[in-house]
Structure 1
């Protein structure tokens, strides 16, 4: 092989090379690469074949400058790092969103907001033009990230429905109705002293699950039977159950506001000699991998986390195409999954 041939083999193929091979203009090649209309199917087929033959790799940085887009979507999770690793729902949301974005040739950038410093850093990052839109998970009312997104007018979709996001797009489940239904199912087993370990009351999901529990117990509601904990975590389930047992040792039913919380509560109940479900029936929420780790397996509400992630990503992509998702407020179904714990 001559030195000229070696240099040519090492040289990166260009749009001009593709155009010469396909027998079309460079402008036609550019329209195909940028997803623009008004190109015949014959020309598209010829260009695709030419790209494969000459080994052309699109320069995404240059394409982004032309389109004024980064081809990246941020998935912001406003949770502690420990919960990001522990909570299977977050992973399922992430996988669902990534699948939809990958199909659309977008990159997903995962951004975790744990501390106030993280929140400030993310607000600066969002203003840098490095992402085209955001999916926001676990936003609180008055969340600084929500405020930053609104200020920058970024295309955004929330997983969940915080009460202060106005007409912003969201995909969610009916946490209140689902909590009411599973609490009623637990009450129907004959339990008389049913309590709740209520987690994450600073966000819509936790507050709505507590409201659904209150709806179900109605006039029998006893505030002493509700123990509030900060996070949807196994350790908070343990702490909450210990405190609730000490205060109300006659409790015979528990609605834990997540499967991880329920698993922690079951660990404490069993260590105290309480038989499940004979002495205490317990139900959770999520139908995550935690539910099947429990012994007996946990009765719970199925949360379609993967579908929520996919729907949120598709919502942001629609906004980027100029299709408004304002006031969409889409809700997905959440069936009860009844197992041996109650």
Structure 2
């Protein structure tokens, strides 16, 4: 059986030193065009297969990209937002022959370990999704100079590139659906106040309500989960039993709200109309089917990854960029 050709053989056939052959094969600099051509020809002739570890030592590239999600694993594996984010990122990385590494950067010791991992440059770049006000990711990634793009507006928007849907407009349009239907007592279930998407959607609700000269006191806070939506809906109906419309900041929370409305004997949409936010599959499985605002998360994740790859290969323009995608209302039975 013939043994695999070695780097020494490649160098001998190419007529260069072993160090020059290594740099030429692994993408290093300081190699003349003639030497690189000779090494390439030797590699083809001998059928030499480069060592990925050696390539990493020369180029300081890991050929991997992190998807950072500062959420507990039970939420990551139950919320369709994350599945579609990963799908969009992985599709782009596969085309670039790069590996996806999932990092769940929750607070405390695990979050600190993730920060160390990123500081040691075990990945070539990062896509961040579902970040919180105090997770420090935008500041940390900017400080260490790791190429990164956020899916969703970060709390430090001038420091890093991000792709987002216009959540203020989305919250406004969701509320207008209820106003145009003739609802007069409209409440909202907002998301956590430490997340920009939740803050922006609530801001849009306030804008639409003020423009229609309607009261803005019926607000409950959820956590973007179905259970959180149930709890917030119960609170909202206890405080405001006369509600005839609810704008909910996520479809999972809206699914929880629909359960509470059904349990209380309120018909949807006859007694209370409901509009959700996301359109990531949940809205097509509720009863009744949920009117919602579409968040094109796969498209957002793909565009974020494309921007990241441009940063990594040096073709991105200098400075932080932002890409804002307009929302759209998907009308179904609940409103």
Tell me if both proteins adopt one fold, taking TM over 0.5 as the criterion: yes
The aligned counterpart of 1:336 is: 329
Which has the larger displacement, 322-331 or 177-186? 322-331
Please, which of 298, 301, 305 is the counterpart of residue 306 of structure 1? 298
Q: Which residue of 2 aligns with 1:220?
A: 214
> Structure 1: how far apart are the matches of 2:328 and 2:28?
40
Pair 1:34–1:242, CA change in 2 (3 A): same
Distance 2:299 2:15 in 1: 42
Note the residue ranges of structure 1 that are not aligned, 5 or more in a row: none
Shift of 1:262: 0.4
Residues 62-103 of structure 1: CA distance to partner in whole angstroms, max 9, x if unpaired? Answer: 111111111111110112222111211111111111111121
CA contact (8 A) 2:245 2:274 kept: yes
- CA displacement 1:272-296 (0-9 Å, x = unmatched): 1111111111011110111111011
Equivalent pair of 2:165/2:327 in contact (CA under 8 Å)? yes
Alpha-carbon distance, 1:46 to partner: 7.8
Which stretches in structure 2 are left out of the alignment for 5+ residues?
none
Q: 1:13 to 1:283 in 2, by over 3 A?
A: farther
Distance 2:266 2:201 in 1: 25
Structure 1 residue 49: Cα displacement: 7.2
SS in 2 for 1:276: coil
The yes-or-no answer on 1:72 pairing with 2:64 is: yes
Q: Tell me which of 179, 183, 187 is aligned to 1:195.
A: 187
The answer to whether the 8 A contact 2:188-2:219 is kept is yes
Whether the 8 Å contact between 1:70 and 1:132 is mirrored in structure 2 is yes
Could you say which residue in structure 2 is the equivalent of 1:238?
230
Please list the CA deviations of residues 38-57 of structure 1 after superposition, one character each: whole Å capped at 9, or x if unmatched: 69xx9999899769xx4x54
Check whether the contact 1:287–1:303 (CA below 8 A) recurs between aligned residues.
Answer: yes
Mapped to 2, the partners of 1:191 and 1:74 lie a distance apart of 45
**How far has the Cα of 1:331 moved from its partner?**
1.3
Superposition map of 1:135-174 within 5 A: 135-174=127-166
Once the two structures are superposed, what CA deviation does each residue of 1:250-277 show, in whole Å capped at 9, x if it has no partner?
1111111001000011011111111111
Query: SS at 2:181's partner residue?
Result: coil
User: What CA RMSD, in Å, does the superposition of the two structures yield over aligned residues?
Assistant: 2.8
1:276 has 2:290 as partner: no
Residues 15 and 324 of structure 1: CA distance in aligned 2, closer, same or farther (over 3 Å): farther
- Shift of the 246–48 alpha-carbon distance from structure 1 to 2, 3 Å rule, reads farther
Q: Is 2:283 aligned against 1:291?
A: yes
Residues 259, 63 of structure 1: CA spacing in aligned structure 2 closer, same or farther, 3 A cutoff? same
1:133-165 CA distance string (max 9 Å, x none): 111112223432333212211111111112324
Evaluate the alpha carbon distance shift between residue 244 and residue 212 of structure 1 in structure 2; reply closer, same or farther with a 3 A threshold: same
Q: Distance in 2 between matches of 1:333 and 1:204?
A: 16
**SS of corresponding position for 1:220:** coil
1:115 and 1:318 mapped to 2: Cα distance? 30
Q: Which residue of 2 aligns with 1:185?
A: 177
Residue 324 (1) aligns with residue 302 (2) = no
- Verify: 1:256 aligned to 2:251, yes or no: no
Partner of 2:85 in structure 1?
93
Classify the secondary structure of the residue corresponding to 1:254: strand
The structural deviation recorded for 1:112 is 0.6
* Alpha-carbon separation, structure 2, partners of 1:24 and 1:314: 40
In structure 2, distance between residues paired with 1:315 and 1:321: 10
Q: What's the TM-score once normalised by structure 1's chain length? A: 0.86
What is the CA deviation profile of residues 211-237 of structure 1, one whole-angstrom value per residue up to 9, with x for unaligned ones? 0000011131332x11012x2100100
Count of aligned pairs: 326
In the superposition, the TM-score normalised over structure 2's length comes to: 0.87
